[in-house]
Amino acid sequence: MAVHGARSRSGGRPTLEEVAARAGVGRGTVSRVINGSPRVSDATRAAVEAAVAELGYVPNTAARALAANRTDAIALVVPEPETRFFAEPYFSDMLRGVGAELSETEMQLLLIFAGSDRERQRLAQYLAAHRVDGVLLVSVHADDPLPDLLSQLEIPAVISGRRSAEETLPSVDSDNYGGGRAAVEHLVSRGRSRIGHLAGRMDVYGAQRRVDGYRQGLRDAGREVDDRLIVPGDFTEEGGRRAMTLLLERFPDLDAVFAGSDVMAAGARQVLRESGRRIPDDVALIGYDDSAIARHMDPPLTSVRQPIEEMGRAMIDLLLGEIADRRPAASRGLEKRQLVLPAELVVRASS
């Protein structure tokens, strides 16, 4: 971590030019060595590397960005208030995956919150200035204008989840359909006969797919689907309580519930308890996300796990591809740019 060598005569940081003089080569050659071009002889490369070490040369990023028209930075944009970012494990997992994958490269990660209007304004300005080479968009709602802004500005972007079945942006999603199916399949195999579903917000595509999976799971078991067993919530605890209450009114003989999120499951649990029902003896309960809540619930909650960290890694891979690709476009189809990672049922005591 020491600063090498002496400062160049000019007093400031050494420049490419000075390294070139020191190594007895031209400026272009030093540039080639710095950027790892293969078109340099071994002897020359060694001489340049020695000069770089002696002078403690570090490239000037601003100059590089100006000349090459790239920034070597990407942004992780969180269109949420900061509080949610810290509260939900989703983001920290995502950040871990992204950070890990990025540490293999020279790219710098920027974390940008765009929860308030003011922050969004700043972000728009930021993007218009092209201060990043690409953007990772997490937790985007169906009607968010951000994705369009990005394509307008021709900034490569990858989105987590999809806004609809016809998502146009490169995306990384988890298999919400499969997750929903697996949950139901599990409940059926445990001998549960009347299985309700507390759905998430229906303007979130992933929530729709979980419902689809729930339906298919029942059909696979040769059962009929009664739509009154599906009650929409809004991903919140309060929404879970309301939906659960309604569901119990409709079906007092309910013996299993699949909730579209762990938080909703927590709300449902309260209502079930208050109604005198035991978990899992009377009613089995399954959540979604496998968050900390699931592990700490009493009893521990069976939940569907999304490989969030891995999704983060995949998003970076896709994004770097997009950035590298920048050809006349349409050279590759979208098929390869939309990933769906498997979801996995984590069975605990609640089911």
- Residues near DNA, by CB under 7 A: 12-13, 15-17, 24-29, 31-32, 34-35, 38-41, 43-44, 57, 59-60, 63-64, 66-68
User: Do 271 and 245 meet the contact criterion of CB atoms below 8 Å apart?
Assistant: yes
User: Do 112 and 106 meet the contact criterion of CB atoms below 8 Å apart?
Assistant: no
Is the omega angle on the peptide bond into residue 280 within 30 degrees of 0, that is, cis? yes
Binding to a second copy, residues 11-30 (CB under 8 A) = 13
251 is a contact residue toward a second copy (CB under 8 A): no
Binding to a second copy, residues 65-94 (CB under 8 A) = 65-66, 71, 82-83, 86, 92
Q: Which does 108 bind (CB under 5 to 8 A by kind): a second copy, DNA, none?
A: a second copy
Q: Which does 27 bind (CB under 5 to 8 A by kind): a second copy, DNA, none?
A: DNA
Tell me the three state secondary structure of residue 158: strand
Smallest gap from Cβ 53 to DNA, in A, equals 15
In single-letter form, the type of residue at position 339 comes to: L
Q: Which does 99 bind (CB under 5 to 8 A by kind): DNA, a second copy, none?
A: a second copy
Parallel/antiparallel/unpaired status of strands 302-305 and 284-288: parallel
User: Do 172 and 111 meet the contact criterion of CB atoms below 8 Å apart?
Assistant: no
Parallel/antiparallel/unpaired status of strands 344-346 and 302-305: antiparallel
Backbone angles phi, psi at 133, to 5 degrees: -85, -20
34 is a contact residue toward a second copy (CB under 8 A): no
Binding-residue pattern over the window 128 to 167 for a second copy, x denoting contact by CB under 8 A: xxxx-------------x---x--xx--------------
> Residue 15 or residue 303: which is nearer to DNA going by CB?
15
Block residue for tokens 């069976």: 302
50 is a contact residue toward a second copy (CB under 8 A): no
